[in-house]
Structure 1
C-alpha cells in the first residue's frame, strides 16, 4: 500500500473515501466543519440524529454527499478527551483501516490533522504512529495456505497535511515505511515453520540481503569455525541437532570509517525443544518463535539499509536449533566459553544465554560504541511484564535511558529491571565458574546477570522480548515484529535522522 502526503483542501480532493474525525458529543474540528459547510450541513444533520456518538474507534460511512469530490465520507470517533493517548490513537487508525479494507475503493484520504495525541508533536510524531499502524495492519502471512487472501482494492492512502508541517509528515512516512518493512521481514521470518527456517536458511536470508543492498558485508561462520573460535557454549547448544549452527555477521558501514559501530546481537534459536530438559508438549509449536531476537535484528537492519542511515552497524545472529539426541548436551555438562569462563549447564532449556554469551565475547573485536542483545530469553519476563512490555537491563545508565526513551517514542516500550550484585550469587556453581540458571527466583534478572559477565568490555544492554515478540495461541497467533520500532528509533536518534 502506498502512502502519499498532500496539502490540499479536503473538499477539493477526488478520492473514494474521505476520513474525518468526530469527537464525543458530535464535535467537529476545523476540517470537518469546512466539509459540513460545503455539504450544506450534512454532517451536522447526521450527528444530530445520534448515529455516531464519537467514542474512540466508532465509525459511520456516508455516501454521495453533495458538493464533494469524495465518493464516500467515513466519520471516525476520537472520544471526549482533548488529546488521545497512543493506544487510543492506534484504535482510531485500526478502526479506519478495518472499514477501508472492506470497501471497494482503491484509495482513501485521511484528514486527521485536528486530532491531538498526547506527547506527540502535531506532524512527525503523530503521523509516524499513524503510518506504522496503517502499514503493519496490512500484513498478511499466507504463503503456506492453499487459498491465498483475497487481493484488497485499497492501494493508496493520502495523508492530508497543513503546508507548514508537510515536510515533517513526509519524513514520518519515510521512516514509517522503512520500519513497517522491517517489521514485515521480522514477522515473516518468525512465522515460518521450523522445517523451513533453520540456521542455514537464516544464513541464506543474510546473503540475499547482502545482494539486495550494496554496502552490506555478510560473513557466515559454520560449526567448525564456531568450535575453532573456542565458542564452547554456542557449539554445545547446536550439537544435538542435525541442523548445524551458524553465526551470521552482517556489517553495514554507513558512517565514517573512524566511527565505532553499534552492535546488535540476536538470539536465533530456530526451534527450542528444551533439549534433554524437554519442554512440555502443549504449545511447543510456538518455540519456532525463539529466533525472534535474530529476526528483529534482521528487520532493524533492513530499516537501516532502506534509510541508509549515516551510522556503522554490526549485526551478529547466533543461530542454532536446540534438539534432544544422543549427541545433545546433558544437564551437568561443563563447557568452556570463548571468554575462557566455564559454565555448568544445569538446564539445557536455558540455551539462549549460551549462544549469546559467546557472541557477546565475539562482539569485542568490533570495538563497539554499544552492544544491545535481543532475545526471547525467559518465560519469567512474561510473568513479570506480560506481553505489552519488553524487559531491559544493562551496565550503562545512559544506554539504558536511551533505549527506554526510544521505546516510549516508538510506542514499543521497555521497562528496566535491576542487575544488583546480590542476584549474581544465584549463579554460583560448585564445579564451574558459573551455572547457566539461577533457580526459580528472578529468572529474567539472573539471565541478564549471566550475560553481563560476558559484556564487561563495552557498554551493553539486554532486551528480553519473550512476551512481546509474538502473540500466543488463538487465531491471532503470530510474530509481532517487535522490537523493530524501538531499535530503529534508537538508531535514528544516534544518526540524528
Structure 2
C-alpha cells in the first residue's frame, strides 16, 4: 500500500476523491460550517452518530462528500487505543470490498500517538496471508490518504509508523509461513534478499562454519533434523564504522516439536511461530531500510529445527557452548536458550553498545503476562528503560521482569557447568538467568514474546510484535549514543 499524510479540514475531505472515506469523530465534536458539518451535527443530535469508541455509522452517497461510501466512527476521548479500536471497527465491512483508494480523516485534532494508531490499524486490517493458498483473495487497495489538521506536526510519527508497518508485514509473513515454507535455508535467503538494500550486508554461515566456531549448543539442537542449520548475520551501517553497533539476536527455531521431550499434539502446529524472534529481526531491518537512521545495527539469527530422531540430542546429554561453558540438557524442549547462548557469545566480537535478544522463549511468560505485554529482562537499568519507553511510544508494550541472582540457583548441575532448565516456578526468569550467564560482557536485555508474537484460535496468526518496540528503541539510540 502507498500511504500519504495530508493537511485537510472536513471541507477538504468533502472534495477528496476515493472509493471510501472513514471519518473519526471524538467526544465533544463541534462541526464547522458547510454541508458535511451540518449533516454531522444533525446526525449527532439525532443520536444516529455516536462518538463512543467503536460506534460506526455507515452511509452511501452522502451529499457533499466525493467518496461514494463513508463510515463515521466514534473515537471517544481520541486516545491511541480508542483510535485503533474505532478504525478497526470501521474497516471490518470494507476489507472484503474492492477498494483501490481509501481516505481516513480526523474530524478534530490528531496527535502523534493517534496517527501512529491509525496507521497500525490500517496495516493490520489489510494484511492477509496468501503464500500457501491456491485461490487467495486479491488485495485491491493501492493507496491510503490520512487527513489531519496539521500534517507537519505529525509527519515524523507518520513516517515511523509506516516503516514499522512495513517491517511488521515482513515479520508476520515469515512467522505465518508453514515450517516447510520457512526452513532455515529459506530464512537465510530472505535475509540475503533483504540485505540488497542500501547500507546492508548479509552473511549466512552453514553447519561447517558454525562447527568451526565451536557453537556446540546451537548444533546440538539442530542435530535431530535433516534441515541444515543456518547462522544469519545481518548488518546495517548508517553511522561511522567507529560507532559501536547495537546487536539484535532473534531466536530462529523454524519448527519446535520439543525434540525428544516432545510436546503434546494439540496446537503443535503453532510451533511454526517459534521463529518469531528471528522474524522480528528481519522486520526491524526492513524498517531500517525505509528510514535509514544514523546508527549501526547487527542482526544475528541462529536458525534450525528442533525435531526428535535417532540423531537428536537427548535429556541428560552434556554439550559445550561457544564460550566453553558445558550445559546439561535436562529438557530438549528448552532449546531456544541453547541456540541463543551461542549467538550471545558470537555478539561479543562486535564490541556492541548493547545486545537485545528476542525470543518466544517460555510458556511461563504467557502465564505471567498474557498476550498484552512482552516480558523485558535486563542487566542494565538504562537499557531496560529505553526498551520500555520505546514500547510505549510504539504502542507495543513491555513489562520489566526481575533478574535476581537467586533465580539461577535451580540451574545448578552435578554433571556440567549449568543445566538448561530449573523447576516450574519463575520459569521465564530462570530462562532469562540462563541467557544472562552468556551476556556478561555488554549491556544486555532479553524480550520474551511467547505471549505476544502470535494469536491462536479463530484469529490465528502472527502479530509482528515487537518490531515497533525494536524500531523505536533503535531510533532513540540515534540521539543518545
TM-score tier after normalising by the smaller chain length: over 0.9
* Residue 433 to residue 125, structure 1, CA distance change in 2 (3 Å): same
Structure 2 residue runs without a partner (length 5+): none
State the Cα distance separating 1:78 from its structure 2 match.
2.1
Aligned to 2:460: 477
State the Cα distance separating 1:150 from its structure 2 match.
4.2
Question: Which aligned pairs between 1:245-264 and structure 2 lie closer than 5 A?
Answer: 245-264=229-248
* Residue 146 to residue 341, structure 1, CA distance change in 2 (3 Å): same
Aligned to 1:157: 144
Please say if residues 292 and 376 of structure 1, whose CA atoms lie closer than 8 Å, have aligned partners that are also in contact.
yes
- Secondary structure of 2:181's partner? coil
* Structure 2 residue corresponding to 1:173, chosen from 158, 161, 170: 158
* Structure 1 residue corresponding to 2:286, chosen from 302, 315, 318: 302
Q: How many pairs are equivalent?
A: 477
State the Cα distance separating 1:73 from its structure 2 match.
4.0
Please say if residues 10 and 36 of structure 2, whose CA atoms lie closer than 8 Å, have aligned partners that are also in contact.
no
* Structure 2 residue corresponding to 1:101, chosen from 95, 98, 102: 95
* Structure 2 residue corresponding to 1:19, chosen from 7, 17, 22: 22
- Secondary structure of 2:180's partner? coil
Give the Cα separation in 2 of the matches to 1:126 and 1:267: 32
Question: Which aligned pairs between 1:235-246 and structure 2 lie closer than 5 A?
Answer: 235-246=219-230
* Structure 2 residue corresponding to 1:229, chosen from 199, 208, 213: 213
Aligned to 2:403: 419
Aligned to 2:32: 34
State the Cα distance separating 1:378 from its structure 2 match.
0.3
* Residue 70 to residue 279, structure 1, CA distance change in 2 (3 Å): closer
Give the Cα separation in 2 of the matches to 1:9 and 1:390: 38
Give the Cα separation in 2 of the matches to 1:323 and 1:102: 39
Question: Which aligned pairs between 1:456-467 and structure 2 lie closer than 5 A?
Answer: 456-467=440-451
Question: Which aligned pairs between 1:33-432 and structure 2 lie closer than 5 A?
Answer: 33-34=31-32, 37-39=34-36, 41-79=38-76, 83-102=77-96, 106-112=100-106, 114=108, 122-152=110-140, 154-162=141-149, 165-211=150-196, 213-432=197-416
Please say if residues 333 and 344 of structure 1, whose CA atoms lie closer than 8 Å, have aligned partners that are also in contact.
yes
- Secondary structure of 1:195's partner? helix
Give the Cα separation in 1 of the matches to 2:306 and 2:210: 16
Please say if residues 319 and 326 of structure 2, whose CA atoms lie closer than 8 Å, have aligned partners that are also in contact.
yes
* Residue 310 to residue 55, structure 1, CA distance change in 2 (3 Å): same
Write the deviation string for residues 347-406 of structure 1: whole angstroms up to 9, x where unpaired.
010000000001100000000000000000000000000011111111100000100111
Aligned to 2:6: 6
Write the deviation string for residues 445-497 of structure 1: whole angstroms up to 9, x where unpaired.
0000000000000000000000111112x221011100000000101111249
State the Cα distance separating 1:70 from its structure 2 match.
4.3
Aligned to 1:118: none
State the Cα distance separating 1:74 from its structure 2 match.
2.5
Give the Cα separation in 2 of the matches to 1:390 and 1:221: 30
Please say if residues 245 and 321 of structure 1, whose CA atoms lie closer than 8 Å, have aligned partners that are also in contact.
yes
State the Cα distance separating 1:161 from its structure 2 match.
2.5
In the TM superposition, structure 1's runs of 4+ consecutive aligned residues that sit over 6 Å from their partners are none
Point out the more displaced range, 135-144 or 275-284. Answer: 135-144
Structure 1 residue runs without a partner (length 5+): 116-121
- Secondary structure of 2:58's partner? strand
Give the Cα separation in 1 of the matches to 2:130 and 2:37: 46
- Secondary structure of 1:41's partner? helix
Normalised to the residue count of structure 1, the TM-score between the two structures is 0.92
Please say if residues 9 and 107 of structure 2, whose CA atoms lie closer than 8 Å, have aligned partners that are also in contact.
no
Please say if residues 428 and 435 of structure 1, whose CA atoms lie closer than 8 Å, have aligned partners that are also in contact.
yes
Give the Cα separation in 2 of the matches to 1:74 and 1:307: 32
State the Cα distance separating 1:39 from its structure 2 match.
4.7
Give the Cα separation in 2 of the matches to 1:40 and 1:409: 33
